[in-house]
Amino acid sequence: MTPDRWQATESYLAEVFGREDAHLAQLQSKAIEAGLPDIAVDAVVGRLLLLLTGLTRGRRAIELGTLGGYSGIWMARGLQPDGKLITLEIDEKHGNFAQDQFTQAGVADRVEIRRGDALDTLGELKGELAPRSVDLVFLDADKERYPTYWKLLRPMIAVGGLLVMDNALGSVSWWIDDLSSPSARAADETNRLLADDPDFEAVAFPLRQGIMIARRIR
Ligand SMILES: C[S@@+](CC[C@H](N)C(=O)[O-])C[C@H]1O[C@@H](n2cnc3c(N)ncnc32)[C@H](O)[C@@H]1O
């Protein structure tokens, strides 16, 4: 693999698997115009989320990190018709923008934005949701807290349910081969926690900035 070939691979994946509808295709540029950061997943990861949510026959999904609603729309579309996505967001502007996008995408009836710090919201959800009742979790909020989030999320995931983690291998400012940044160390710690967990099967792969998928087997 060379840097050029990596770039060409990403372009190929985007061309072949990165189809989006007109609303999703414009969402990211509208979000940037509205002052949101350009840190959403891309259409290939979005399609993976759609596929995985569908594979779990998901009725309940949780996302940490709503941003402008891009990944949330893909996940909501993968849910069963009576399914629900609870997406956690600390930033009021991001939450407001995302709420509009969920309405425009026609999924607002199956998405609830929980505003506030995900640590607090996960504490609330622990009291509301039965243990092992969540079919899919997408972890995509503040990276340094990934291991803490994982410990809170673990009891919630159903047998057969999935954890999908973004930035499992890197981001624009760090990569997993250099553990000098707290985010890199947190991603590495979470990867290893999942890889060593006897109740989960896990693997990470270098799609975009690294995706880790883990499935509860018991
Ligand atoms: C990478 S973005 C999420 C991107 C989104 N999942 C997508 O692909 O469309 C991370 C989001 O997490 C939010 N966030 C950061 N720290 C948080 C926290 N402690 N609790 C809840 N949300 C947080 C940020 O405000 C930001 O909107």
- Phi first, then psi, for residue 212 (nearest 5°) are -110, 135
Average pLDDT, the chain: 97
In the sheet where 211-216 sits, what is the strand order?
Answer: 111-115, 84-89, 60-64, 134-139, 157-166, 211-216, 200-205
pLDDT at 184 over 90: yes
DSSP-derived secondary structure letter, 188? H
Per-residue model confidence (pLDDT) at position 134: 98
164 in contact with ligand 1, CB cutoff 6 A: no
pLDDT by residue (tens digit) across 87-145?
Answer: 999 999 999 999 999 999 999 999 999 999 999 999 999 999 999 999 999 999 999 99
Q: What is the DSSP string of 100-145?
A: HHHHHTT-GGGEEEEES-HHHHHHHHHHHSPTT-EEEEEE-S-GGG
90 in contact with ligand 1, CB cutoff 6 A: yes
Average pLDDT score over residue span 75-87: 97
Residue 6, judged by CB atoms within 10 A of its CB (0-12, 13-18, 19+), counts as exposed
CA 204 – CA 119 distance, rounded (Å): 24
44 in contact with ligand 1, CB cutoff 6 A: no
211 in contact with ligand 1, CB cutoff 6 A: no
Torsion-angle region of 132 (φ positive above 0: left; ψ -120 to 50: alpha; else: beta) = left
pLDDT by residue (tens digit) across 48-62?
Answer: 999 999 999 989 999
Per-residue model confidence (pLDDT) at position 58: 85
CA 6 – CA 54 distance, rounded (Å): 29
152 in contact with ligand 1, CB cutoff 6 A: no
Q: Which of 39, 122, 152 to mutate to test ligand 1, by most ligand atoms within 8 A of the CB atom?
A: 39
Q: Which of 91, 101, 148, 171 to mutate to test ligand 1, by most ligand atoms within 8 A of the CB atom?
A: 91
pLDDT by residue (tens digit) across 28-48?
Answer: 999 999 999 999 999 999 999
pLDDT by residue (tens digit) across 186-208?
Answer: 999 999 999 999 999 999 999 99
> What domains are there in the chain, each with its CATH number?
3-216 (3.40.50.150)
Q: Which residues of 9-47 are buried (b: 16+ CB within 10 A; e: fewer)?
A: eeeebeeeebebeeebeebbeebeeeebeebbbbbbbbb
Per-residue model confidence (pLDDT) at position 212: 98
How many angstroms separate the alpha carbon of residue 1 from the centre of ligand 1? 31
Average pLDDT score over residue span 157-170: 98
